[in-house]
Amino acid sequence: MPDEARRRIADRYELLEPLSHGGMGDVWRGFDAVLDRPVAVKLVRPQAVTSPQLAEEFEKRFRREARVTARIQHPGVPQVYDAVLDESYEQLFLVMELVDGVPLTAYAHPDERLPVSWAVAVAAQVATVLSYAHEVPVVHRDLKPSNILVARDGTVKVLDFGIAAILRTDVTKLTATGSPIGTYQYMAPEQVRGARVTPGTDLYALGCVLHELLCGRPVFTGDSEYQLMTQHIAATPTPLRELRAEVPAELEELVLDLLRKAPEARPVDVQAVYERLRPFLPSSADAPEDALGALPGGAGPAGAPDPTGVFRRPYAPRSRAGATAGEPTAPGEAGHAAQAPVPALTPAQREELREQIREVYDHCAALWDEDRFSQAAEVVGEMVEAAAQVLGSESRAVLALRRRRAFSRQLAGDHRAALPEFEALADAFARVSGPHNEATLDCRAQAARCRGELGRVTEALAGLEGVLESVRAVDGDVSENAVELRRDIGMLLLAQARPAEALHALEPLHEDLCLVYGPTDEMTADVAETLAVIRLDLNGPGMSES
């Protein structure tokens, strides 16, 4: 497909960058221009469509399967937002929730054994997801480590429900020329043979995944696709305890049961699998380190998310800001570090970079005009990273870009992300331009406003009052910055249920606004209305305005 055509799908979804490539299609990081949110867009290859008649049947199947998949209501299944089939039937797009996570393929290594509780917690979360899917009923058909992500908070996400069903063909037998849908290393015997696919097919794949998590290698490792497929049909899997002695015997038995050749010999359903996993899961009463080999906090590999957390602290609140390790930061956000030497640019390279930055500002302005502030923050953020590498994270150009990104986040209502950016920018501008520079004070003020939006009103008040003191010393009491600060301070006092102090702050502000901007000015009228409400609150409805 031409690059230009990839930029926009259905006049709504913009494709930004490829995230992964697989046998069934490519996944792109995209953006929903209507709802101003990031999305994942899967470009599916409908290889079964070879004629207009098949195209019509494929469209019907696609719509049906996409709707059925969207009925799986579980946090472990990324939401399906939209399904788009182009007029030529050559491209099929599934628009889904974008998950910030790492696939299990990153964690399964024969030389780095995962803690048993980490592996079991992942399998238990997958089992929970499958229980909701099988109830619909939806059979995944292609469960494998690359389709299972562990998100930052430890939540396990199962991807690509329905894709295998959408793309299924009648040519799936081992002796046929076509390829069966599924991945050979995790394919159940009945799937290899082209027999009926049932929830038991997913149980077999789950057994393959759990075996690999516990010992670091797949159940079977044939030299060819044909050999792998025949191994799944006829070969006996190696018991886990022969590969890793500390695996509990009951867990080894469960994996062997999941890998039974006959579907009816496997556990009766996924709920039964979950019950057999439960004894090896941590509970809310468990110490951070348990007898099954969990690291402190249930952690697995260094820096990996903790899938045991949902069992140790079920339905726990989100971690407080700054309490989660491993969060990504923009250049300069982690405090003032020594600046790495930046490469020298030729005049032509410098002009090219300036032009790129100008284009980013233009793109950002266009997105702001459409109220697409979240996407604007992403667009500017990409330029921040590129420019910081060659100019330094505290060059004036990069600081200006970071400031635009922070404002975009703030306008999008993402005050939690905007706050640390404004704080870091205030420190950076203070170092570069001085503590009383306009940009320094503005970033301090915006950081305080973010705190107010996050409910940290006392801190917000202290921050705004400190900025106001500096602004008054330079620009007086009725500059544009000063009157906005005075109004915000009054509103925060009111939010703290301190109406008398709010009245004391806003009455002189209203007098100044009347003199400088006039009684019909928008801010003047807003402050007058607020004062009327405060007076009613303090004195009762019988009190007339002075």
DSSP one-letter code for 109: B
DSSP one-letter code for 6: G
Within 10 A of 491 (CB to CB), how many other CB atoms are there?
A: 17
Determine what percent of the chain falls in helix, strand and coil, rounding each to the nearest 5: 55, 10, 40
Q: Pick the catalytic residue: 32, 142, 290, 427?
A: 142
Which DSSP string do the residues of 336-401 spell out, in sequence order? Answer: -PPPPPPPP--HHHHHHHHHHHHHHHHHHHHHHHTT-HHHHHHHHHHHHHHHHHHH-TTSHHHHHH
CB 130 within 8 A of CB 152: no
Q: Mark whether 526 is an active-site residue.
A: no
Residue 368 CA neighbour count, 13 Å, CB half: 15
Q: d(Cα 481, Cα 496) in Å, to the nearest integer?
A: 23
Mapped onto helix, strand or coil, the DSSP state of residue 111 is coil
Q: Residues 299, 304, 310, 311: is their CA dihedral positive or negative?
A: negative
Which residues lie closer than 8 Å to 78 by C-beta, 6 or more apart?
40, 96, 97, 98, 99, 157, 159
The catalytic site residues sit at: 142
